[in-house]
Amino acid sequence: MAALKAGIVGGTGYTGVELLRLLLAHPEVRLSAITSRKEAGLPVSELYASLRGHTELRFTSPEQAPLRECDVVFFATPHGVAMQQARELLDAGVRIIDLAADFRLRDAELFERWYGMPHACPDILAEAVYGLPELQRAAIREARVVANPGCYPTTVQIGFAPLLRHGLVDPAHLIASCASGVSGAGRKAEIGYLFSEAADNFKAYGVKGHRHGPEIEQELRRVAGLDHADPSLRCLFQPHLVPMIRGMHSTLFARLNDAGQATDLQALYQQFYADEPFVDVLPTGSAPETRSVRGANSLRVAVHRPQPDTVMVLVVQDNLTKGASGQAVQNMNLMFGLPETCGLQGIALLP
């Protein structure tokens, strides 16, 4: 098949440059357009020196970019942008992968409550597919619009999925204590993310509620076979900021029921993810490190039973790769019938 023509809307943030890094090395993709109003006309390699010698592409304004001629367009934009442009692109036969939250929440009213804006296209929201390949692979293959998952929700779902799918835990008392590097906040100048503020520091944020909370519960209910608003499943989610650039560590807790206490959890996780190329279940007693996935599209998972009736699952990923842009490329591969690992087989960077 001919190379896929891909476009990126909003290519100047961290997820945008991660998409550039991956797509420019992808053997089946030709990057046709990348947009930025502020940087229009500027060569991409001048903004990102790491890409010198890899592309001659220049940033263009959204109005001038040939997005309608692309096979797939990625939105690496703030929330609210993709839903304004989705209909025009879909009418032109373009498939969409949105890295923001425009199509993640199935309830338009819930979206408005958490993101402070009405949804511009509820009909497209209704057909959008939530893009976590390990749990939604078949639907992603047929999708016109894919909602790329949030970074935290990816780790939480992968960590809890085997337990919920097999009904081994109390779904009303799930706990997710998660920590992310500073790049998770995006490429912006705010006091809390300055080096002198974030370095040598550790703090919780979003303690009154975080936007990823309803996304996490919605998708965990799907895994458990419940309605998307079923109150019988609750997950207490608390994010933290870690003084590092990229990486995410999630520590998950659940109360095992009688069936769960009688189950070999290590064997369960190994079997559940045996055929997943980007999920690595570590040996018994392991504790994964964020640096083991830096720059790679992979998650590493370790399952522990610290008490007879309690399970603890440790999950790490790179928040910009499997947590965002790498997962978006994985979704693209599925949507266009390419090998799922195509362009994503890079080894993590160490040290």
Report whether 15 contacts 52 (CB < 8 A): no
What does residue 254 show for φ and ψ, rounded to 5 degrees? -150, 155
Q: Report the chain's C-alpha Rg in angstroms.
A: 20
166 alpha carbon, distance to own chain's centre = 24
Determine the angle formed by the axes of helices 133-142 and 212-224, rounding to 10 degrees. 90
Is 121 marked active-site?
no
Buried b (16+ CB within 10 A) or exposed e, 57-73: bbbbebeebebeebbbb
Q: Among 121, 151, 178, 235, which one carries the catalytic annotation?
A: 151
Amino acid at 253: F
237 alpha carbon, distance to own chain's centre = 16
Catalytically annotated residues: 151
